[in-house]
């Protein structure tokens, strides 16, 4: 799973409140060439959205904005393959590690990165990336934290994606710009354009 995620290089981040939108979303992302999404738990029915996608074996399904071990467990039971958290919550991290669930905890500072090292976490989310210094901050982290790879998220779009992916300590990027809920043709188009950008880099 980790290898697939790394090869895709981009994780669409999506908030959906309507479970009926789940399948059209996945169809659009797959049509654009990105069979992966982080479904954020920011809406009342986000867990139902994840549940709807349980059977889509070809799709890498993540749950994001997870704030507790209990939410992580519920998301995994609903069908999530991996967990993403906006900040570093040791209890959530430990639950995922003990249950062999891939987790990408959020970090913003060197102190957070020390916590990641303490828990043997090698891939973290860097959030909110652009606000926290973006590419320059990641370059600065690459010295003292050379074993850690990042998923920068927050403020990333088609115009700055390539600067992030050019960094050797960037595992993948996260972003919401390619998803336009209720305009699935446009979502497929923006996704395909993002995939083209990524392919041009390699
Ligand atoms: C996140 O959930 O990680 C961010 O809100 C996504 O940021 P973006 O909307 O700027 O891509």
Question: How far apart are alpha carbons 134 and 190 in whole angstroms?
Answer: 22
* Dihedral sign computed on CA atoms, order 5, 8, 11, 14: negative
Whether 98 is a known active-site residue: answer no
Strands 10-14, 36-40: parallel, antiparallel or unpaired by DSSP? parallel
Q: Is 156 in the pocket of ligand 1 (CB under 6 A)?
A: yes
Query: Which H/E stretch holds residue 38?
Result: strand 36-40
Residue 134 lies in a domain: yes
pLDDT at 1: 84
The two three-digit tokens of residue 138, written as one number: 């990641």
Residue 76 lies in a domain: yes
| Residue tagged active-site, from 70, 118, 125, 139 | 125
Q: How many structural domains does the chain have?
A: 1
pLDDT, averaged per 10 consecutive residues of the chain (202 residues), comes to 93 98 98 98 98 95 98 98 98 98 98 98 98 98 98 98 98 98 97 97 82
**Residue 109 belongs to domain spanning:** 2-194
pLDDT at 60: 97
Residue 200 lies in a domain: no
Q: How far is CA 171 from CA 27, 39, 58, in A?
A: 25, 19, 21
pLDDT at 10: 98
pLDDT at 202: 74
Residue 13 lies in a domain: yes
Q: Is 127 in the pocket of ligand 1 (CB under 6 A)?
A: yes
Q: Is 174 in the pocket of ligand 1 (CB under 6 A)?
A: yes
Residue 201 lies in a domain: no
Nearest partner of 179 among 51, 14, 7, 61, judged by Cα: 14
Residue 199 lies in a domain: no
**What are the start-end ranges of the H helices in the chain?**
2-8, 22-32, 46-52, 69-78, 90-98, 110-118, 134-141, 161-165, 184-201
pTM of the model: 0.96
The tally of CA atoms less than 13 A away on the side-chain side of residue 10 is 32
Radius of gyration, CA atoms only, the chain: 16
End-to-end CA distance of the chain: 20
Beta-bridge mates of residue 11: 174
Length of the chain: 202
pLDDT at 71: 98
Residue 65 lies in a domain: yes
pLDDT in tens, 131-141: 999 999 999 99
CATH number at residue 167: 3.20.20.70
Select from 40, 154, 191 the residue to mutate for testing ligand 1; criterion: most ligand atoms less than 8 Å from CB: 154
Residue 54 lies in a domain: yes
Neighbours of 101 (CB within 10 A): 18
Question: How far apart are alpha carbons 129 and 63 in whole angstroms?
Answer: 19
Vertex 128: Cα angle to 2 and 97 (nearest 5) = 35
Question: How far apart are alpha carbons 162 and 118 in whole angstroms?
Answer: 31
């Amino acid at each position: 799973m980790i290898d697939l995620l790394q090869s895709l290089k981009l994780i669409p981040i999506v908030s959906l409140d309507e479970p009926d939108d789940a399948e059209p979303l996945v169809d659009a992302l797959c049509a654009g060439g990105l069979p992966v999404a982080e479904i954020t738990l920011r809406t009342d029915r986000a867990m139902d959205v994840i549940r709807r996608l349980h059977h889509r074996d070809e799709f890498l399904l993540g749950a994001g904005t997870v704030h507790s071990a209990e939410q992580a467990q519920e998301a995994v039971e609903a069908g999530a393959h991996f967990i993403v958290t906006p900040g570093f919550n040791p209890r959530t991290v430990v639950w995922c590690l003990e249950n062999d669930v891939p987790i990408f905890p959020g970090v913003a500072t060197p102190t957070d990165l020390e916590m990641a090292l303490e828990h043997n976490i090698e891939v973290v989310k860097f959030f909110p990336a652009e606000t926290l210094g973006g590419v320059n901050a990641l370059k600065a982290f690459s010295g003292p934290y050379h074993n850690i790879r990042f998923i920068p998220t927050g403020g990333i779009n088609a115009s700055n994606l390539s600067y992030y992916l050019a960094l050797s300590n960037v595992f993948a990027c996260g972003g919401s710009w390619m998803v336009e809920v209720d305009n699935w043709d446009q979502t497929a188009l923006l996704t395909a354009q993002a995939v083209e950008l990524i392919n041009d880099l390699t």
